[in-house]
Amino acid sequence: MKPASGENTIRPASGSGPSSAQTSSRPRSYHDEKDIQNTLQLREILREFPPFAKQYFLGIESTTATRTRLSYAYDIRTFFRYLQENNPILSQKDILTWDVSVLDQIQPTDIEEYESFLKVYTVDSSLVGASRKETYTNGEKGLKRKMSALRSFYAYYFKRQMIQTNPTLLVDMPKLHEKAIVRLDAGESAALLDLIEHGGDDLTGQKKRYYEKTRLRDLAIVTLLLGTGIRVSECVGLDVTDIDFRNNGIRIIRKGGSESIVYFGEEVEKALKDYLEERKSIIPQPGEENALFYSTQRRRMGVQAVENMVKKYARQITTTKKITPHKLRSTYGTALYQQTGDIYLVADVLGHKDVNTTRKHYAAMDDARRRSAAGAVRLRETPES
């Protein structure tokens, strides 16, 4: 059947059809591919849900990203499994047979016990298809995300008057304690770039060959992260056609799917051009031709690969700071705010939807500036000695 106007034909899996070519007016981007993967994965998880629960995910489809819905599905599945294992009544019923009235049977104390359970819990191997049990833990952020997912789930049915109670509203959300913002200072940033550029000068053998093979790529990635503040997911999602050297800008897809242009300076320009010159000699794997940054397997680099690379170099620069790509983003935001003092500009460049998020992140810097004003104004002249 011919796809309707505007539709793309999904590429068949290897060996599943006579051709692996994509029937589309344009190649799918990294973000398109991730959305497809997330959607297919979500459908698989929903096969384990009772029919009423699937309605929730249809209801939030227009207001959430596929990654968000997939995360919520994992979290709601954990809640269902907890109920089946710990609720005397529900343990006698198959999850697939539950109806929405199940939610009305849950009391606030049950929600509190579930929240406590989430801090440390074990999943039986029969549920995850593994040969052993898996133990999971949740810190403050993970705990709050899971409880937020549950609150959203309940709110959907309560708002539509499909249930009479919403016990999640009677339970306090987990509190997030403020943590010190970790970032590189100017000297550490310079040292990190110098290490990537010259750190392999004294290496030999296989280590030397690997270093030379990845040096310009790693330098371009870290320079780009430090010089623009983009997220690691935005970085790995870049295609080579997303770079505009005429205006020194890159086209990125933000969280939530919005498109944005981020501009870069001369240092980023040089690092990218040096890498792109080397990139010409790389023969990518089929379907990976558009990716900007390649792994040594000639495929698009993933988030985990970039995180591991940044950590590898950063450990040699500082042992007291746990540096990740997100910390490089904080480093850029700090430097930009110090140079401009414009919190709205920082929020815009970093892609924060709410400037209060940015203001909270850099509040400590504002405090330091305000403290510096304490002795700037004298009320009385100091008596001459």
> For 103-121, what is the mean pLDDT?
95
Cut 0.85: pTM above it: no
Cα distance between residue 322 and residue 315, in whole Å: 8
- Read off the pLDDT of residues 281-298 as tens digits, 9 standing for 90 and up: 999 999 899 999 999 999
pLDDT for 184: 93
pLDDT-based confidence at residue 323 (cuts at 50, 70, 90): very high
Q: Sketch the domain layout of the chain as residue ranges.
A: 30-170, 186-361
Cα distance between residue 54 and residue 66, in whole Å: 14
pLDDT-based confidence at residue 338 (cuts at 50, 70, 90): confident
Greater pLDDT, 56 or 89: 56
pLDDT for 326: 94
> For 83-103, what is the mean pLDDT?
93
Check pLDDT > 70 for residue 24. no
Structure token pair of residue 8: 């793309």
Cβ neighbourhood burial of 18 (10 Å; 0-12, 13-18, 19+):
exposed
| Helix segments in the chain, DSSP class H | 30-46, 51-59, 66-86, 108-119, 125-128, 140-159, 186-198, 205-228, 232-236, 266-279, 303-314, 325-340, 343-350, 355-361, 363-372
Return mean pLDDT, the chain. Answer: 87
186-361: CATH homologous superfamily?
Intergrase catalytic core (1.10.443.10)
Domain 30-170, CATH class in plain words: mainly alpha
Same fold, 30-170 and 186-361: no
Backbone angles phi, psi at 109, to 5 degrees: -65, -35
Nearest to 181, CA basis, from 330, 78, 286, 30: 330
pLDDT for 13: 41
> For 222-239, what is the mean pLDDT?
96
